[in-house]
Structure 1
């Protein structure tokens, strides 16, 4: 079985769970569509805590996301696929989505960029951050708008970017100086 068929089979497995356990659909719709607002609120709260480490974390997360998004767009030029609800019959599509290239998942890039960065800076909460990012990625498959490969590649790109940026950004003397002002 080739990777494409595995991707479709894994999509079917996850997406069909929503047909069998429909009572979970509202939770996954919330994760897929609205959890981004909670992430934004948490990011704002971290910034306004006025702690240097939290501000460094927020800046690192934003730069990580920008870098990951650029790399994701490049990956999307190298490989392209439409959303599963466009390409496959009988998809349990739970949210509306514009038809475009779904590779890699932008939501997954966003959540893994921020959550992995938050995990690096706040190790005590690492299981919560990683679980949140994982659940948002899973939710994008559950609601029928991404294949598992879209999510996995988005997670890998943003995780690498988050670690790279979390090492580099705090070492920038100009940034420390500006944040202390």
Structure 2
């Protein structure tokens, strides 16, 4: 696990553009395609055989019945961490800073790759599955995409878990732990906020998380690196 996290420090050799593109296709796009097929399969189960289970919207209804003005405001604020504008802005800034600090474009593109793959899988699977949103009062305007999987949750997972991986370069142990915990916690809070606000059900959020997690892993793994030295160069 340690060599996986620090693979871009263990091997800082510069790849050619052709090699990077080839690796991205075989080590990121192909695994993502497999994840996409799983999303589609589960989505069709959710809108098909699993659509009429007795509990239905029980979780969403419970949250809707226990809303408070304070939690409405908190959930709205938390949900912004998964908004398209925020995710794109933070991703672009992160890529620019990484490129500037490391001078390694092949490493700097990792956050953009994770977020882009997540978006591609989410938009296409959501369009095909076409699940309706929960039958409760909604606190947000519904975007044109369907309910499965949760796009806010997937986007926040792809971005903030990548940030958690990047945080492992922080040398101060206490600061590294704090930043890691915050980044890992954000996607779960975004997912809860989406259920609370009546925009998604639990399955939408769970598979949004899994979608984002898959894209983080394959994006971080996309480029072949030699980690046999076992010594990270900070």
**8 Å contact kept, 1:7–1:149:** no
1:144 corresponds in structure 2 to 198
Pairing partner for 1:113 from 140, 158, 178: 158
Cα deviation code 1:11-46 (max 9, x no counterpart): 22333332xx33211111122247635555544543
CA distance in 2: counterparts of 1:72 and 1:12, whole angstroms:
25
Q: How big is the shift at 1:98?
A: 3.8
CA distance in 1: counterparts of 2:117 and 2:75, whole angstroms:
27
1:62 corresponds in structure 2 to 112
Higher-Rg member (1/2): 2
CA distance in 2: counterparts of 1:58 and 1:29, whole angstroms:
31
Change (3 A) 1:158 1:12: same
CA distance in 2: counterparts of 1:138 and 1:65, whole angstroms:
20
CA distance in 1: counterparts of 2:160 and 2:112, whole angstroms:
11
CA distance in 2: counterparts of 1:94 and 1:61, whole angstroms:
30
2:73 corresponds in structure 1 to 26
**8 Å contact kept, 2:156–2:187:** yes
Pairing 1:10–2:31 present: no
Q: Secondary structure at the residue paired with 2:109?
A: helix
Pairing 1:80–2:80 present: no
2:40 corresponds in structure 1 to none
Root-mean-square deviation (Å): 3.0
2:121 corresponds in structure 1 to 71
Aligned length, in residue pairs: 164
Cα deviation code 1:123-160 (max 9, x no counterpart): 32221111111111111111111112111111101101
Cα deviation code 1:54-110 (max 9, x no counterpart): 9766521221122222222343355331111xxx2xx23212224541211111121
Unaligned runs of 5+ in 1: 172-181
Change (3 A) 1:93 1:113: same
CA distance in 1: counterparts of 2:139 and 2:57, whole angstroms:
18
Pairing partner for 2:207 from 149, 153, 168: 153
TM-score, with normalisation over the residues of structure 1? 0.73
**8 Å contact kept, 1:83–1:99:** no
Change (3 A) 1:3 1:74: same
TM-score, with normalisation over the residues of structure 2? 0.59
Pairing 1:48–2:97 present: yes
1:162 corresponds in structure 2 to 216
Q: Secondary structure at the residue paired with 2:57?
A: helix
